Structure 1
Amino acid sequence: MSNKPRYLADSERARVLEFQEMIHYSPRYSDDEYEYRHVMLPKPMLKVIPQDYFNQETGTLRILSEEEWRGLGITQSLGWVHYETHAPEPHILLFKRPINFGQ
C-alpha cells in the first residue's frame, strides 16, 4: 500500500464526525523514550469508516497517517504517531511520541 494518505470524501467525513464527541482519550503514560496514549473510538464508528482504512487480513484499522486519523476526528497535539491497533479491541488505537517532543 502506498504511503499517500487516503483522504475521506465529504460524505464519509460527515458520517465519521457524527461520532467525534464520543472519542475517548486515555491519560498519557510513558517509559524512558516515549509517552503513550490510547484513543478509543466508539464501536459503532467502525461501521462508517471506509473499508480501505482497514487491514483486510486482521480486520483491524491499518496504521493511519496523521492526516487520516485527524480526518476521522481524532484531535491531539502535534507529534503523535499511530503505531499499533489493539487487535482484540479494534476500536482502540495506540499512539506514541518522543518523551521530549516540542522541548
Structure 2
Amino acid sequence: MAKASQKELEQAKLEEYIEKIHYSERYSDDLYEYRHVILPKPLFKMIPKQFFNPDSSGTLRLLSDKEWRGIGITQSLGWEHYEVHAPEPHVLLFRRPKDFDEQLRRQQLMEQMQAGKTAKLAPRRKV
C-alpha cells in the first residue's frame, strides 16, 4: 500500500477542519438577519496571508463571497461578511437583508414568468 503524499495528508486535514466549522443560529434586528461562523483555529491558521489585514492585528479583512466560500464556509445565498471581531479573529460575522429569502423567491418567480412569456411569443416553425 502506497504512503499518502504530504499534499493528500494536508487535504485530509483541511477537510476535517472544514467539517468542524460552527455555524450559529440566525438572529435578527429590524433590517438584517445575522449569524456568526467560528472557524477551527487550525483552519484559521491555514487561510492565505492575502486575506488578512495588512496591519499587524492578525485579523481578516472583509472577505468576498468567493473568498469565504473558498476557505470552506458554506451558507445559502445573500450573506455578506460585514465585521471582524479582533479579540476572536477566527469568528466571522455575517449578515443579509431580513427579507432576503422572500426577495429571492419573488425574483425567481418574475424570471420564470418572463421566460414563459418569451416562450409563448417565440414564432413557431412550420413543419
**Across the two proteins, how many residue pairs are aligned to each other?**
92
Structure 2 contact 78–96 (Cα < 8 Å) conserved: yes
State the Cα RMSD in Å. Answer: 1.7
Task: Indicate the residue corresponding to 2:61 in structure 1.
Answer: 62
Task: Indicate the residue corresponding to 1:50 in structure 2.
Answer: 48
Deviant stretches of 4+, over 2 Å = 14-18
**Unaligned ranges ≥5, structure 2:** 1-6, 103-127
Identity of aligned residues (%): 65
Instruction: Give the structure, 1 or 2, with the largest relative contact order (CA under 8 Å, sep 6 or more).
Output: 1
Task: Indicate the residue corresponding to 2:31 in structure 1.
Answer: 33
Q: What letter corresponds to residue 40 of structure 2 in structure 1? A: P
Report which of the two has the higher share of strand.
Answer: 1
Cα deviation 1:62-100 (Å, max 9, x = unaligned)? 100000000111000000000011110000000000000
Report which of the two has the higher share of helix.
Answer: 2
Higher Cα radius of gyration? 2
SS at match of 2:44: helix
